Chains A and B, each alone.
Chain A
Amino acid sequence: NAGVTQTPKFQVLKTGQSMTLQCAQDMNHNSMYWYRQDPGMGLRLIYYSASEGTTDKGEVPNGYNVSRLNKREFSLRLESAAPSQTSVYFCASSASGGNYGYTFGSGTRLTVV
């Protein structure tokens, strides 16, 4: 039972490069989320998708774009990476809009130099 799978697990980018973080869940959840966590801090919501075909901004959306490719997959794209985007990125999913808890992936550790 895989749950939420994120790829890659680690990535180093140069300033200005672009990349896409991938997330897939196999629990038939409707809602998916992208969070970032900076060192010593709590998680902050970047974007979320309440259901297939919809996406909405969270607390810190600037510099990111997302795509809900289908019910299983939700990707996060950095078009022009900046050092301020160095962080650990977590994807999560939930049934019923999160009323009964989120399931998180293991994270992608991104460093922008």
Chain B
Amino acid sequence: DAKTTQPTSMDCAEGRAANLPCNHSTISGNEYVYWYRQIHSQGPQYIIHGLKNNETNEMASLIITEDRKSSTLILPHATLRDTAVYYCIVRVGGNNAGNMLTFGGGTRLMVKP
């Protein structure tokens, strides 16, 4: 799987949009971009994933550049409960459990009042 590069930490004001960037310049055509987050001491939580089109769900939006070399996770109205480590992961798609989910260091997002 391609490696990803994320900022180590970011701050965001409560109520504002949080934009978390991720670079994955060596991504392959069959690899998806996944985002997970881990709130302190808890298991990671799946947020969203996409291949090349922008995606939105009840938690967040995912914007993938046209060349697919980078993406941005957007939390539209950040709350204090969104304070967590956010992981951007590139993974081969398909129904093969052997396509491992490999976690890097992630971005520590701090939402401040």
Task: Using CB atoms and an 8 Å cutoff, list the residues of chain A in contact with chain B.
Answer: 4, 30-31, 33, 35, 41-45, 48-51, 56, 58-59, 90, 92, 94, 96-107
Determine if B93 is an interface residue (Cβ-Cβ < 8 Å): yes
A98 touching B103, Cβ below 8 Å: no
B46 nearest in chain A by CB position: A101
A56 touching B98, Cβ below 8 Å: yes
**Chain B residues with CB below 8 A from A56, complex form:** 98
| 17 A-B pairs (CB sep. < 8 Å) | A4-B43, A30-B97, A31-B97, A35-B103, A59-B100, A96-B95, A97-B95, A97-B99, A98-B101, A99-B32, A99-B95, A101-B49, A102-B46, A102-B101, A106-B43, A107-B41, A107-B42
A42 touching B105, Cβ below 8 Å: yes
A45 touching B96, Cβ below 8 Å: no
Interface size on B, residues (CB 8 A): 26
**Chain B residues with CB below 8 A from A4, complex form:** 43
Cα distance A92–B46 in the bound complex, in angstroms = 11
Cα distance A97–B45 in the bound complex, in angstroms = 17
**Chain A residues with CB below 8 A from B99, complex form:** 97-98
B103 touching A94, Cβ below 8 Å: no
B103 touching A42, Cβ below 8 Å: yes
A42 touching B106, Cβ below 8 Å: yes
Cα distance A35–B98 in the bound complex, in angstroms = 14
Cα distance A58–B106 in the bound complex, in angstroms = 20
Cα distance A106–B19 in the bound complex, in angstroms = 27
**Chain A residues with CB below 8 A from B28, complex form:** none
Determine if B76 is an interface residue (Cβ-Cβ < 8 Å): no
Within the complex, what minimum Cβ distance (angstroms) separates A64 from chain B? 16
